[in-house]
């Protein structure tokens, strides 16, 4: 049986789960997921149920909740999807786009209230509600802000590592 992953928000915005860029579980890399057998042990181990197997690869869907960095996905994995010594963190951070309600003069601070790292702050604005500012350095990429955003205005952006100069 195939379950539809289309949400009401997805229907209204014209997006489906297939439109989302693949986000790997914390500590997994594009190289390490090649060894994934698709057994689903990480799916069963995830307490927040944000991991699923898509196209044979573990994928995180922050619309379902946040990552608590518990490490249970890595502990239960029988393969080398989560290499020893990996940071267990995400290679992305959140970004707030122009669809944000607060940026459009509607009072909302749901993302700030849900951010465990305190990476989202709101600043006063003349004649309107406070506006968000996201500190990319403080953002852990846990996704707590995504599932609570009523405007679907938060996405993940890959962190770019600068090439070392030798």
* For range 148-152, the mean pLDDT: 97
**Alpha-carbon span 81 to 63, nearest angstrom:** 23
Q: Which range is least confidently modeled, 8-12, 53-57, 86-90?
A: 8-12
According to the model, what pLDDT value does residue 48 have? 96
**Encoding tokens for residue 90?**
């995400």
Cα atoms in the Cβ-side hemisphere of radius 13 Å centred on 151: 18
Looking at residue 114, the DSSP 8-state letter turns out to be: H
Token pair 């790997």: residue: 24
According to the model, what pLDDT value does residue 12 have? 53
Domains delineated in the chain: 8-76 (3.30.70), 92-158 (3.30.70.3270)
Residues near 68 by beta carbon (within 8 Å), at least 6 away in sequence = 47, 48, 142
Rounded to 5 degrees, what angle do the CA atoms 50, 152, 57 make? 30
**Alpha-carbon span 158 to 142, nearest angstrom:** 13
Beta-bridge mates of residue 54: 57
pLDDT digit string, tens, across residues 11-32: 555 544 444 468 999 999 889 9
SS3 state at 84: coil
**Alpha-carbon span 61 to 103, nearest angstrom:** 25
**Alpha-carbon span 37 to 56, nearest angstrom:** 7
According to the model, what pLDDT value does residue 85 have? 67
Q: What is the pTM of this model?
A: 0.79
* For range 49-74, the mean pLDDT: 94
**Encoding tokens for residue 9?**
């928000």
Mean pLDDT of the chain: 86
**Alpha-carbon span 134 to 126, nearest angstrom:** 20
């Amino acid at each position: 049986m195939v379950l539809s992953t289309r949400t009401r928000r997805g229907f209204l915005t014209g997006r489906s789960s297939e439109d989302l860029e693949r986000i790997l579980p914390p500590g997994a890399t594009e190289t390490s997921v090649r060894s994934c057998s698709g057994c689903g042990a990480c799916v069963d181990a995830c307490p927040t149920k944000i991991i699923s197997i898509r196209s044979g690869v573990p994928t995180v869907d922050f619309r379902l909740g946040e990552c608590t960095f518990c490490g249970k996905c890595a502990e239960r994995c029988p393969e080398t999807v989560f290499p020893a010594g990996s940071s267990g963190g995400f290679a992305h951070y959140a970004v707030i786009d122009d669809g944000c309600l607060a940026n459009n003069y509607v009072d909302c601070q749901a993302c700030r209230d849900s951010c465990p790292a305190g990476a989202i702050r709101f600043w006063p604005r003349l004649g309107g509600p406070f506006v968000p500012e996201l500190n990319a350095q403080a953002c852990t990429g846990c996704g707590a802000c995504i599932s609570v955003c009523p405007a679907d205005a938060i996405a993940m952006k890959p962190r770019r590592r600068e090439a070392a100069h030798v």
